[in-house]
């Protein structure tokens, strides 16, 4: 069974079910993907597949070690590579060159979608941590200030993990237990219910949930 698939986020839309209910969905360009290498417990200490998303890229964009890695498996170079873990007892014998397609998934199946959230740059505590603002009148000088971050005499320092201003977004985010609403096998497109992290065109990992 396919452990998952790589793809890109196309965008959000909505579809109507047979009973007339509207469902918000995210369209994912899922695959085609190719198995680049097979990790085994004997050689690597764990069971996994190294999978690459098939895209039309010039070979000159890859350095010599990467070109040699792909040539060893006799597959075209891939920009987006990820490892998908396998169960210790895997019925299917995977090997380099095997393809993974959106058709390997079924409607109503549940998946986890992993992406990189949108980067928001430097943000204050109100936007980053949902702090409340101070009074806006009567000479207030702490409208959007974070407030006290610690006592002066003890502990005479700022505790680790204090919620403060800083870089916001651009982090690995997992949207869990999303339902596959539709599979468009001819175009390698999956429609999953709900939102998916990241911008349109961002790379995502669709990981199958094994019950």
For the chain, give every residue range classified as CATH 2.40.30.10: 4-120+172-208
Q: What is the phi/psi pair of residue 159, to 5°?
A: -65, 150
CATH tag, 4-120+172-208: 2.40.30.10
pLDDT score for 1: 76
Q: Name, in order, each residue with C-beta under 8 angstroms of 178's C-beta and a sequence gap of 6 or more.
A: 110, 111, 112, 113, 192, 193, 194, 196
pLDDT score for 90: 60
Q: Burial level of 4, CB count in 10 A (0-12/13-18/19+)?
A: buried
Helix, coil or strand: residue 95: coil
One digit per residue, the tens of pLDDT, for the chain of length 211 reads: 788 899 999 999 999 988 888 999 999 998 788 888 888 888 888 888 888 888 887 878 888 888 888 888 888 888 888 988 887 656 668 888 788 888 888 888 899 999 999 999 999 999 999 999 988 999 888 899 988 888 888 888 999 999 999 999 999 999 999 999 989 888 889 999 999 999 999 999 999 886 5
**CA diameter of the chain:** 72
Q: Quote the CA–CA distance of 33 and 53 in Å, as a whole number.
A: 5
pLDDT score for 8: 93
pLDDT score for 132: 92
pLDDT score for 151: 83
Q: Quote the CA–CA distance of 203 and 80 in Å, as a whole number.
A: 8
pLDDT score for 170: 94
């Amino acid at each position: 069974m396919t452990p998952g698939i790589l793809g890109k986020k196309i965008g959000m839309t909505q579809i109507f079910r047979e009973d007339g209910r509207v469902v918000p969905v995210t369209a994912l360009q899922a695959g085609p993907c190719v198995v680049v290498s097979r990790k085994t417990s004997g050689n690597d200490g764990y069971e996994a597949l190294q999978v690459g998303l098939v895209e039309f890229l010039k070979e000159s964009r890859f350095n010599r070690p990467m070109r040699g890695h792909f040539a060893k498996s006799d597959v075209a170079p891939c920009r987006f590579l990820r490892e998908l873990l396998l169960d210790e007892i895997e019925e299917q014998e995977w090997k380099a060159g095997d393809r993974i397609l959106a058709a390997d998934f079924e409607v109503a199946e549940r998946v986890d979608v992993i992406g990189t959230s949108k980067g928001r740059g430097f943000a204050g505590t109100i936007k980053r941590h949902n702090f409340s603002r101070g009074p806006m009148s009567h000479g207030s000088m702490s409208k959007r200030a974070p407030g006290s971050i610690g006592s002066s005499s003890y502990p005479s320092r700022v505790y680790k993990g204090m919620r403060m201003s800083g870089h916001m977004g651009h982090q690995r985010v997992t949207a869990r237990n999303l339902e596959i609403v539709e599979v468009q096998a001819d175009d390698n497109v999956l429609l999953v219910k709900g939102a998916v992290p990241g911008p349109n065109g961002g790379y995502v990992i669709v990981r199958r949930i094994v019950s």
